[in-house]
Each structure stands twice: as structure tokens, then as C-alpha cells.
């Protein structure tokens, strides 16, 4: 790992503190550093505990329920879903760690070669990915609790296999560029797991019905994913069928081989020169280009970037191009892409169309995902009628919805990104006269159009996609509408999060800021209650009330945050990343 | 734009990045803000841009209280950090067109002003190159060209003289800043270069540990001896000395 020598840091820290203590002026100046250090410590503490709590909420819930008599197969299904989420998350993390300027920017000016930087990033990835092994270990130990000594050996062996396979698959998934955007899916998956757990422990009759209807999906997870094969093998081993060990060996070995090949390929492709776009730099002598003396007799080196002769300027053409740009109606990039984008554009007034240009200068992509989801769902149905196992067809439908329809809600908006600046990072929008309210209105309107467009697909998916026999139309429509309401209710929260990540709202001073934060946290925690209630109440009227409460609550949260944003309750500078 | 700061304070815990800064600036002034590293120069500019929220105090633009939600006031100012914010895949022309729309300055006759600015800044040959392929100085020029196109009433420039601009670019910046000030705009910039602050300002503000430690008008600066204990350089050096 590329890390400072702790002894040297300790020695220097001691000397600096002695020097600071000796001077009243330096002591006064040091207050800023002390405050910053304390704030960093608090943020690290809170971040670590939030992470631990999130993990404990999911894994602890599953393990606790299993120990409390919950069906181990159901617990295993939930953990499989969780594993799929973590695999996607790790795939995004690999992309981020090994190919993004953001993660690698710190090495730009360091005399560190590709090999050292790769090793450093790999160790960061390995440390953060170990959690999954821990999850499976805890679950395995819970399963082994009633067994003998040998049963306790099963848990660590299968946990290692699960971790290896998941990381190997994550490496494989990085070939798919869109995997970077999957953070939201992970959050969704996590929320779903916790949500299902809450319901399970309450023994809701409605939930049990849905749970049984979802059997094909659970079965598909067990049959189609390597994690599912391992989970089944683990259950077999615990039941005394030793052939499960062979499966573990084969799948775990396959995962290890995948990990090995993936790591080698990643290492071979990893190049700081390519990422930063500068010329060759000699890896064996990284200091060569920093402080080496010039040899006057050496032949002149090739320039780092090819120098192109300047083209003569065609002023009339340039003038015409500028005029075209200024005359073009706002939101043109959005308008030209497809029918869904065109409808979204028509729903926006001119200022908001201009904001779309600002937020996403390359235009939005919605219709592509919509079409792909439709085609995949049609293929799933056709295959099912042709005799494909309903479990596999359900899996394909879930894949179509989760991988192509869901990502169109939210996604990556360039204008909501932040940029690194002294003392933290600042959102793009903070530098320009752009208001939170108007940006939020754009996001909500565009996503409302997308939600309406998604409704027919959801109805079809609910009716034909997941159950052994088609659901009645009314029931399918009811589930689809409830899903759309949940998606719409999540949009304001997503807008708050998008602005919040570029601010210091969680550490802003003053009791009003703290009160606001508390209100937001309580509000966000309350939302799932209405969401769960809306899905499982029988009466249509009550569902409508829950939907209204859900939408009202989430929009209220956005309005509250927007009010605080406009009243300067906090800075638009996020504290620097602690890693 | 008339600018009034009343007891502007920004605290981070017990430390104060700005400590009771009060200042009134009539329109048409060029103001240099100078101070040691960490004195609070950038924080002051960020406060004025609405990025940083003051812990206490008030800012008034033309008598109106400035808050982040006042988009009409924010459209009258432009903040240019030393590393400007640009979309890497847009060309300079596209960036300018986008800025004009965001600031709602997409008026007739703006084309010629833009082309003239691009010409002055030697950006015409690069007008269609993606901004991500430009050098640091060229990227700053592109951002500055947007400022010239938008013609804000309040210029907030963070370290413009350490932004990679070449001599021609610096000359254009000074020339346009003077012209804008003559037309009633207020130009506030931070710098560490004493010689520039001394010669290129109507008012020099010294920030020390968040406090407005001293101000010098153009006349007061002209009256200071170039060397010796009363020179500006020696006066500023006192801020480094430990207090007794």
C-alpha cells in the first residue's frame, strides 16, 4: 500500500505540537486545524457506524431471523439478493478504483509507477469487499448452530467461496460499462431485503402470499447464480450430503480462477498514462521525469502530446456555428433522442429545458432502456410459452425491469456532479445561478413522464412475469400503480441526496441546521412505513390515502430541504473524502 | 453594483475563517484582496458567490439582502475560481452558448462580442475543440470569455493571476476589468502578488486571520514608499510576526 511511514508521521506530529504550544499565535491558528480534525473524526465515526448499522440491519436481520426459527431457505434467498447487490456494487467500485480520474487523481503527481498504484488500489478493494465473506460466515454459523463440530467448519469454507465468486464475477461485470451506475440498485436491493425482513418477522398474511408467489424468482436465484449453487451445496453438506463439497470446490475454484484471470487482465490494462492522457512514463524509474538532469547530448524526446499545426480560422463559419448554437431551442439534445425524451421535453417550460441542457449536456437516455425492457419481457414470455422453466422466465423479466427500466429513474446527471476544490468538493450547480427548486422540478417532471411510460410495462410484468398463473388485470394494475407511486415518492429524496452530497448540511453549525437534519432523517425513516402500508392494505381507498401520504411526505421533505438551501443554512462545499 | 458587507463571519467550530468583515464598496471599483494562505480570501469570495453560508452577518447587493435563493442577484455576478468549472466534452462555443442561457443574457448582437473576446484571447482556433483538451491557461481563457459574454455586474475572481493565463490573456483580463469597472461593475479578485495588487486596484484589502486588517485606496498606495519600513511589503510582513 502507498501509505506514509507511521513512525515518521508520529515523530513529526510530536515536533509540530511542541512548536505550536510554544507560540500563542500558532496556538490560535491551530484552532482551525483542531476543529477540522475533530469534524473529520466525527464524520469518520458516523460514517463507520452507519455502515456497521446498515450491515447489521441486513445481515443481522437475516441471521437473527434464522436463529429465531425463520425458514433457512428464505434467509438464504434474501442473502442471495444481497450478494447480487454487493457484486454489482463491487463491480462499480472496481471501475471507479482502477479507471476513474477521481479515484486515481491523487497519484497524478506522485512518483509511483503503475504496479505500485495497482497494488494500492487492489488492497483497498480487497479490504472493502471482505464484508460479504463476513455476511456469509455469520449466516453459515447460524445454520451450523444446531450441528456438530464439523458443521462449524462448513461456514468459513463456504464464506470464502462466496466471497471469491462474488469478487470474480464483479471483475467480469466491469466489462459492462453501465455497471458504474448501479449504486442505486444496491440501495434498492438493500432496502428491499430489510423491508421484506420487517414484514416477515411480523408474519403478515399478505406478505406470505406474495412470498409464495415469488417462489419462481427465488428458485431462479438459487438455480442461476453461482452464489445460489453454493448456498444449495452448503445446505446439502449440512444435511449430510457430502457431494456439496464437490460443488463448493468446483464453483469456488471457478470463482478463484475468474478472480485470478480478471486481476491479471485488469493489471495488464491498468495504465496511469492512458487514464491521465499523458505520454509514456518509465515504470521502472518513476523519478525519471521528475528531477532527472537533462543530458545535452541525448536525442530530443517526442513531445508528450502531438502538436497539430493551427488551422486557419474560418470566421464566417464560426459565426454561423455560434448563431446556430444561440438560436437552437433549449432542450434540443433531449428532444431529438426518442419519443419518450420528446414527451419529457414538451412537459417542460423553456427555462427547465435550458436546465436539462445544463444538467445533462449530452441529452437524456430513457427510450433505449424502455425498449430493451419491453423486448426482453417479450422474449421471456415467448420462451415461457415455448416451455422454458417459469423460474428462468421470471428471472429474465426481473432482469429486464431491474437492469433497463429502473436505471432510467435517476441515473447520472452531469450537472449534479461535484468537483474537487480546496477544503472539499463543490457541486457544479453551485458555481452558476441555478436554484435547487427549479432543478428539482426538472428532475421530478422528467421522471414523472418516465414513470407514466413505465406503467404499461410494469402492468405486463406483474400480470405475466412473476407468477405461475397470470394475475388478474386489476391486481396487476394495482401492484404496478403502487410501484410507480414508490418510484415517484423516491424522486424528491433522490433530489435531496443529489444536492446534499455537495454540501456540508450534516455538519453545519447551529441548532436550526441540526433540527433540519433531524427532521429529514425522521422523514426519510417514515417513508418506508407508508410504502409498506400502501403495498399490503387490501382496501383501495386506504391504499390511496397511503399513496397520497407517501407522495406528500416526500415532496414535503424536498420543500423543507429547498427552504433551508435557499436560506443559507449550510455551505455548498462537501467535506473532503476521508479515504 | 453597490456592495455592503456587515459583520460577515464564517466560523468552522471555534476557528473563524471570516471574522466580522464589514465593507462598503460603491459601484465601479476594482478591489484586490490580499492575505496569507488560509487568511480567508477564498472564503470571502465564496460567501459573495453564495457557495459558503456566512455564520453571521449580512451581504447586500444594491441594498438587497443576498441569499442563495435570490437567483436574480446571482445572475448579476460571476465567480471564477482559479480552476474554472467546465464540461470537458463541450467546446468553447457550446460552453459560451450554455452560459449565456443560464445567465439569461442570450440577446441580439452578442455574437460579435463573443467572437471579439475569443479573438483577443487567442481562442478562435480552439473555439470548437473540447474544453477537456485545452491547457489550464486556455481553459481559464474559455471561462473568462464566458464572463465577458455574460457581462456580470460583480466579478469574483479567485487568484486570476495564478490561473495559467499568458501575458496576452492577463493584459486582456486587466483591460476588460478596467472597462467593466468604468461601466459600473465591481471587480473583486484575490491574489498573492503584491506588485499586481498595488498597481491594479482601486482598493486593496488585507485579510488576516479572517479579519479585514487594513484597506488602502489607490491614493494611499501611491503615497507609500517603494522600499523601507513603510513600504507595503514591510507593512504586510507584520502579519507573519508572532504577537508579543
Residues of chain B with Cβ-Cβ distance to A315 below 8 Å are 115, 124
Nearest to B53 by CA among A504, A519, A419: A504
> Quick check: B111 and A573 CB within 8 A?
no
pLDDT exceeds cutoff 70 at A522:
yes
**How many Cα atoms are found within 13 Å in the side-chain-facing hemisphere of A86?**
29
Interface test with A, best of B37, B41, B52 (most A CBs within 10 A): B52
> Quick check: A571 and B125 CB within 8 A?
no
Domain coordinates in residue numbering, chain B: 1-76+153-165+174-244, 86-151
Q: What is the rounded distance in angstroms from the CA atom of residue A308 to the CA atom of residue A485?
A: 55
Asked if the structure places residue A387 within a domain, the reply is no
Q: What is the rounded distance in angstroms from the CA atom of residue B78 to the CA atom of residue A382?
A: 58
Last residue of a domain, one of A225, A247, A276: A276
Please tell me chain B's helix, strand, coil percentages from 3-state DSSP, rounded to the nearest 5: 40, 25, 35
Q: At A300, is the pLDDT very low, low, confident or very high (cuts 50, 70, 90)?
A: very low
DSSP state of A40: H
Last residue of a domain, one of A214, A243, A276: A276
Asked if the structure places residue A447 within a domain, the reply is no
For the record, the C-alpha cell of A26 comes out as 500558532
pLDDT at position A511 is 77
The C-alpha R_g of chain B, in whole angstroms, comes to 18
Asked if the structure places residue A564 within a domain, the reply is yes
What ipTM is given for this predicted complex?
0.91
Write out A223-250 in H/E/C secondary structure.
HHCHHHHHHHHHHHHHCCCCHHHHHHHH
Last residue of a domain, one of A245, A276, A307: A276
Asked if the structure places residue A486 within a domain, the reply is yes
What whole-number percentage of chain B has pLDDT above 70? 98
Write out A254-291 in H/E/C secondary structure.
HHHHHHHHHHHHHHHHCCHHHHHCCCCCCCCCCCHHHH
* Residue range A257-286, pLDDT digits in tens: 999 998 998 898 888 877 776 544 444 433
Strands B211-217 and B154-157: unpaired
Task: Give yes or no: residues A418 and A271 share one domain.
Answer: no
Q: Tell me which residue in A323, A358, A569 faces B98 most closely, judged by beta carbons.
A: A358
Residue B23, beta-bridge partner list: B5
Higher pLDDT, A116 or A406: A116
The answer to whether the CB of B46 falls within 8 A of the CB of B80 is no
For the record, the C-alpha cell of B102 comes out as 443560464
Higher pLDDT, A339 or A546: A546
CA-based angle A144:A146:A149, to the nearest 5? 60
What residues contact A399, with CB distance under 8 A and at least 6 apart?
Answer: A376
- Provide the shortest C-alpha distance from residue A358 to chain B (in Å): 7
What residues contact B135, with CB distance under 8 A and at least 6 apart?
Answer: B164
Higher pLDDT, A407 or B67: B67
CATH for B1-76+153-165+174-244 (3.20.20.140, 3.40.50.300, 1.10.600.10, 3.40.50.970): 3.40.50.300
CA nearest B209 in A: which residue? A29
Least confident of A70-74, A469-473, B36-40, B101-105: A70-74
Tell me the C-alpha to C-alpha distance, in Å, between residue B180 and each of B32, B113, B149, B173: 15, 14, 12, 10
* Secondary element (H or E) of residue A98: helix A72-99
pLDDT at position A140 is 86
Q: At A292, is the pLDDT very low, low, confident or very high (cuts 50, 70, 90)?
A: very low
> Quick check: B69 and A567 CB within 8 A?
yes
Asked if the structure places residue A388 within a domain, the reply is no
- Helices A226-238 and A149-173 pack at an angle, to 10 degrees, of 170
Strands A424-427 and A573-574: antiparallel
The answer to whether the CB of A156 falls within 8 A of the CB of A248 is no
Q: pLDDT averaged over chain A?
A: 78
What residues contact B69, with CB distance under 8 A and at least 6 apart?
Answer: A435, A565, A566, A567
pLDDT exceeds cutoff 80 at A166:
yes
The domain in which residue A15 lies consists of: 6-276
Interface test with B, best of A37, A101, A362, A431 (most B CBs within 10 A): A431
Structural domain count, chain A: 2
* Secondary element (H or E) of residue A169: helix A149-173
CA nearest A419 in B: which residue? B85
For the record, the C-alpha cell of A14 comes out as 510530536
pTM summary value: 0.73
Q: Which of residues 39-78 of B touch A (CB under 8 A)?
A: 42, 46, 49-55, 67-69, 71, 74-75
- Provide the shortest C-alpha distance from residue A506 to chain B (in Å): 13
Nearest to A235 by CA among A225, A247, A253: A247
Q: Average the pLDDT over A8-16 and give the result.
A: 89
Tell me the C-alpha to C-alpha distance, in Å, between residue A418 and each of A96, A502, B157: 15, 6, 20
The answer to whether the CB of B101 falls within 8 A of the CB of B130 is no
Q: Is A197 exposed, middle or buried (0-12, 13-18, 19+ CB in 10 A)?
A: buried
Amino acid at each position: 500500500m502507498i501509505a506514509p511511514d507511521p513512525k515518521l508521521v508520529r515523530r513529526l506530529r510530536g515536533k509540530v505540537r511542541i512548536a505550536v504550544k510554544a507560540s500563542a499565535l500558532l496556538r490560535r491558528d491551530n484552532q482551525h486545524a483542531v476543529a477540522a480534525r475533530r469534524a473529520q473524526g466525527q464524520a469518520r465515526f458516523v460514517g463507520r457506524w452507519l455502515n456497521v448499522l446498515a450491515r447489521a440491519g441486513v445481515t443481522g436481520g437475516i441471521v437473527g431471523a434464522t436463529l429465531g426459527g425463520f425458514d433457512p431457505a428464505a434467509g438464504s434467498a434474501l442473502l442471495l439478493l444481497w450478494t447480487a447487490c454487493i457484486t454489482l456494487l463491487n463491480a462499480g467500485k472496481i471501475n471507479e478504483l482502477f479507471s476513474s480520474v477521481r479515484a486515481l487523481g491523487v497519484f497524478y503527481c506522485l512518483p509511483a509507477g503503475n504496479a505500485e498504484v495497482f497494488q494500492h488500489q487492489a488492497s483497498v478493494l480487497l479490504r472493502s469487499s471482505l464484508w460479504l465473506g463476513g455476511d456469509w460466515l455469520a449466516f453459515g454459523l447460524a445454520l451450523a448452530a444446531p450441528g456438530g463440530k464439523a458443521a462449524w467448519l462448513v461456514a468459513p469454507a463456504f464464506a470464502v467461496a462466496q466471497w471469491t465468486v462474488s469478487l470474480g464475477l464483479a471483475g467480469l461485470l466491469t466489462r459492462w460499462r453501465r455497471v458504474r451506475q448501479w449504486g442505486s440498485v444496491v440501495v434498492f436491493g438493500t432496502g428491499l431485503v430489510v423491508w421484506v425482513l420487517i414484514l416477515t418477522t411480523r408474519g403478515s398474511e399478505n406478505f406470505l402470499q406474495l412470498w409464495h408467489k415469488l417462489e419462481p424468482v427465488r428458485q431462479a436465484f438459487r438455480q442461476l447464480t453461482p452464489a445460489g449453487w453454493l448456498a444449495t451445496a452448503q445446505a446439502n453438506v449440512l444435511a449430510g450430503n457430502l457431494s456439496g463439497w464437490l460443488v463448493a470446490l468446483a464453483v469456488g475454484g471457478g470463482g478463484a480462477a475468474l478472480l485470478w484471470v480478471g486481476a491479471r487482465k485488469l493489471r495488464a490494462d491498468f495504465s496511469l498514462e492512458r487514464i491521465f492522457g499523458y505520454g509514456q512514463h518509465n515504470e521502472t524509474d518513476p523519478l525519471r521525469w521528475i528531477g532527472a538532469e537533462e543530458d545535452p547530448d541525448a536525442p530530443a524526446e517526442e513531445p508528450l502530446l502531438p502538436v497539430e499545426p493551427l488551422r486557419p480560422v474560418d470566421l464566417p463559419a464560426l459565426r454561423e456555428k455560434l448563431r446556430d448554437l444561440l438560436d437552437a431551442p433549449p432542450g434540443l439534445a433531449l428532444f431529438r433522442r426518442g419519443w419518450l425524451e420528446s414527451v419529457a421535453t414538451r412537459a417542460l417550460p423553456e427555462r427547465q429545458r435550458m436546465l436539462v441542457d445544463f444538467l445533462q449536456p449530452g441529452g437524456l437516455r430513457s427510450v433505449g432502456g424502455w425498449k430493451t425492457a419491453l423486448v426482453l419481457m417479450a422474449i421471456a414470455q415467448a420462451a415461457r410459452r415455448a416451455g422454458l422453466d417459469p423460474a428462468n422466465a421470471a428471472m429474465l423479466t426481473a432482469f429486464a425491469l431491474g437492469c433497463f427500466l429502473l436505471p432510467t429513474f435517476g441515473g447520472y446527471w452531469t450537472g449534479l456532479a461535484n468537483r474537487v476544490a480546496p477544503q472539499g468538493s463543490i457541486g457544479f450547480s453551485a458555481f452558476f445561478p441555478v436554484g435547487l427548486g427549479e432543478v428539482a422540478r426538472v428532475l421530478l417532471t422528467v421522471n414523472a413522464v418516465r414513470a407514466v411510460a413505465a406503467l404499461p410495462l410494469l402492468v405486463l410484468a406483474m400480470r405475466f412475469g412473476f407468477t405461475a398463473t397470470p394475475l388478474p388485470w386489476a391486481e396487476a394494475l394495482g401492484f404496478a400503480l403502487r410501484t410507480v407511486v414508490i418510484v415517484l415518492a423516491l424522486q424528491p429524496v433522490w433530489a435531496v441526496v443529489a444536492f446534499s452530497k455537495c454540501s456540508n448540511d450534516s455538519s453545519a453549525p447551529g441548532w436550526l441546521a441540526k433540527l433540519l437534519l433531524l427532521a429529514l432523517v425522521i422523514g426519510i425513516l417514515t417513508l418506508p412505513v407508508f410504502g409498506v402500508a400502501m403495498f399490503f392494505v387490501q382496501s383501495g381507498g386506504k391504499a390511496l390515502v397511503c399513496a397520497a401520504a407517501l407522495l406528500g411526505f416526500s415532496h414535503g421533505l424536498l420543500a423543507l430541504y429547498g427552504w433551508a438551501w435557499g436560506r443559507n443554512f449550510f455551505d455548498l462545499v462537501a467535506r473532503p473524502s476521508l479515504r | 453594483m453597490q456592495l455592503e458587507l456587515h459583520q460577515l463571519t464564517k466560523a468552522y467550530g471555534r476557528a473563524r475563517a471570516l471574522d466580522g468583515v464589514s465593507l462598503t464598496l460603491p459601484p465601479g471599483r476594482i478591489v484586490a484582496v490580499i492575505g496569507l494562505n488560509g487568511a480567508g480570501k477564498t472564503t470571502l469570495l465564496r460567501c459573495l458567490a453564495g457557495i459558503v453560508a456566512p455564520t453571521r452577518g449580512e451581504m447586500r447587493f444594491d441594498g438587497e439582502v443576498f441569499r442563495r435563493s435570490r437567483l436574480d442577484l446571482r445572475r448579476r455576478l460571476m465567480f471564477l475560481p482559479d480552476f474554472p468549472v467546465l464540461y470537458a466534452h463541450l467546446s468553447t462555443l457550446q460552453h459560451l452558448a450554455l452560459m449565456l442561457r443560464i445567465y439569461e443574457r442570450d440577446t441580439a448582437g452578442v455574437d460579435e462580442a463573443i467572437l471579439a473576446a475569443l479573438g483577443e484571447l487567442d481562442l478562435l482556433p480552439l473555439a470548437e475543440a473540447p474544453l477537456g483538451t485545452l491547457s489550464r491557461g486556455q481553459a481559464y481563457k474559455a471561462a473568462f470569455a464566458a464572463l465577458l459574454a455574460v457581462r456580470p455586474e460583480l466579478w469574483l475572481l479567485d487568484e486570476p493571476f495564478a490561473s495559467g493565463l499568458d501575458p496576452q490573456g492577463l493584459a486582456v483580463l486587466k483591460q476588460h476589468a478596467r472597462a467593466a469597472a468604468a461601466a459600473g461593475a465591481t471587480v473583486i479578485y484575490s491574489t498573492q502578488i503584491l506588485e499586481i495588487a498595488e498597481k491594479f486596484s482601486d482598493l486593496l484589502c488585507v485579510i488576516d486571520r479572517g479579519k479585514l486588517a487594513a484597506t488602502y485606496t489607490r491614493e494611499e498606495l501611491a503615497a507609500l514608499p517603494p522600499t523601507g519600513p513603510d513600504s507595503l511589503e514591510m507593512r504586510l510582513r507584520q502579519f507573519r510576526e508572532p504577537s508579543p
